[in-house]
Amino acid sequence: MAMLLDYSLPELEERFAAMGEPAYRARQVYQWLWQKGVTDPQDMTNLAKSLRTRLAEEEPLALPAVVRVQESSDGTVKLLLSLSDGESVETVLIPEKDHYTLCLSTQVGCAMGCTFCATGTMGFTRQMTPGEILSQVLLARRILEERKSELALRNLVFMGMGEPLNNLHNVLASLETITHELGLGFSTRRVTVSTVGVPEKLERLGASGLASLAVSLHAPTHELRNELMPRAESLCPLPELMERLMAYPLKPRQRITFEYILLGGVNDSPAHARDLVRLFSTFRGSRPKVNLIAFNPPAEGPELAYRAPAPEDVEQFLEILRGKDVTVMLRKSKGQDIGAACGQLRAAHEFGSGA
Ligand code: SF4
């Protein structure tokens, strides 16, 4: 059953029309929920008392329960959330210089099975609803308010548990509310969806114009990507993915970010760096931007068969890319001591800054 939190504004207006209520009442409720973070109808003080009571009685509205809050030595905060059916997901608040970035989950588990990813080892359980996806933002804001944080939540990255494009319908619904001026009000430039690349759905995300795009690349060739991310590669082999990305609609000054996790002895050699340069040399359209992340085995969760790259190999990899004029950033993996770096490299970075 859909909850109030699952509705887009037009859906909420429809719902209210069916209840015999005017559209402006739906807009008021939408603003209470998303602009003010008020989820108890009794606190929606500009509604008639009878409507508040009716909403409280007829419209189920339960935020996920925060069952654990863990804080890393670098300030990263991981929330473990229990959903209404007892399933749990994580959401991670990442402190940056002057703001927080929130890393959102979109599925319970993930079907993609990427070999370096802790979530990938869990398998897929179910899709998260729009309300569950959005609740992560409300709960993160509440935590920051409780802590009287001086840093505001400014960026959202869909980079937690799950492959967002495998739950595109609900992800697009949540993006509507995230970017709506009466909703959470984020600029589309401050919201990034990260994907391994799912054909057709990629195009639908692009057509929505609701978020920036990050692509989990992690290998410069089809053969190696097929070893690391076999399901992603069978859905869309690397040459086809690059073709699709070249046609991806971008706004002025927007660029596609490519994520590349350096796995010691696997994809971090100078030859791999040169292959990456070659891959980008044929990339027409926008100039790609690469985020390199040095893999660090997570402190918690399942054991993965990879090791961290040697610092000198990371340095050499960076230099080769920079020497060939590839825009590249080395991102720190944050929250390592609380296991916040599993999922889709979720603790990595300042996405959504529109750069
Ligand atoms: Fe799924 Fe992303 Fe992990 Fe791959 S990296 S298994 S797509 S959560």
Q: What is the pLDDT of residue 286?
A: 83
Tell me the chain's radius of gyration from C-alpha atoms.
21
For residue range 242-294, what is the model confidence (pLDDT) as tens digits? Answer: 999 999 999 988 999 999 999 999 999 999 999 999 999 999 878 899 999 99
Report the pocket of ligand 1 as residue ranges, CB < 6 Å: 110, 112-114, 117, 119-120, 161-163, 196, 216, 343-344
Which residue do the tokens 């985020």 mark?
291
Within 13 Å of residue 122, how many CA atoms lie on the same side as its CB? Answer: 19
Using CA positions, which residue lies closest to atom 4 of ligand 1? Answer: 114
CA of 338 to the centre of ligand 1 (A): 19
Tokens, residue 33: 């929920």
Q: Atom of ligand 1 at shortest distance to CA of 107? A: 8
Q: Is 216 annotated as a binding residue?
A: yes
Q: Is 234 annotated as a binding residue?
A: no
Q: What is the pLDDT of residue 355?
A: 29
Give the Cα separation of 134 and 204 in Å (integer).
20
Q: Atom of ligand 1 at shortest distance to CA of 162? A: 8
Q: What is the pLDDT of residue 336?
A: 60
Strands 191-195 and 107-109: unpaired
- Cβ-based neighbour number of residue 218 at 10 Å: 26
For residue range 211-246, what is the model confidence (pLDDT) as tens digits? Answer: 999 999 999 999 999 999 999 999 999 999 999 999
Q: Is 218 annotated as a binding residue?
A: yes
Q: Is 217 annotated as a binding residue?
A: yes
Pocket test of ligand 1: the residue of 107, 108, 116, 119 to mutate, having most ligand atoms within 8 Å of its CB, is 119
Pocket test of ligand 1: the residue of 89, 108, 114, 122 to mutate, having most ligand atoms within 8 Å of its CB, is 114
Question: What's the one-letter identity of residue 292?
Answer: L
Q: What is the pLDDT of residue 304?
A: 76
CA of 100 to the centre of ligand 1 (A): 23
For residue range 149-167, what is the model confidence (pLDDT) as tens digits? Answer: 999 999 999 999 999 999 9
Using CA positions, which residue lies closest to atom 8 of ligand 1? Answer: 162
CA of 297 to the centre of ligand 1 (A): 16
73 DSSP assignment: T
Q: Is 286 annotated as a binding residue?
A: no
Q: What is the pTM of this model?
A: 0.93
Per the CB < 8 A criterion, the answer to whether 37 and 138 are in contact is yes
Contacts of 32 (CB under 8 A, 6+ apart): 38, 43, 44
Q: What is the pLDDT of residue 354?
A: 31
Q: Atom of ligand 1 at shortest distance to CA of 160? A: 8
Within 13 Å of residue 58, how many CA atoms lie on the same side as its CB? Answer: 10
CA of 28 to the centre of ligand 1 (A): 37
Q: What is the pLDDT of residue 337?
A: 60
- Residues belonging to the active site: 90, 342
Tokens, residue 51: 């409507």
- Which candidate, 199, 197, 200, places its Cα nearest to that of 232? 197
CA of 240 to the centre of ligand 1 (A): 19
Residues of the chain with pLDDT under 70: 1-2, 298-302, 333-355
Using CA positions, which residue lies closest to atom 5 of ligand 1? Answer: 344
Domains of the chain, with CATH numbers? 4-58 (1.10.150.530), 65-351 (3.20.20.70)
ipTM of the complex: 0.99
CB-based burial label for 264 (10 Å; 0-12, 13-18, 19+): middle
Backbone φ, ψ for residue 89 (5° rounding): -140, 170
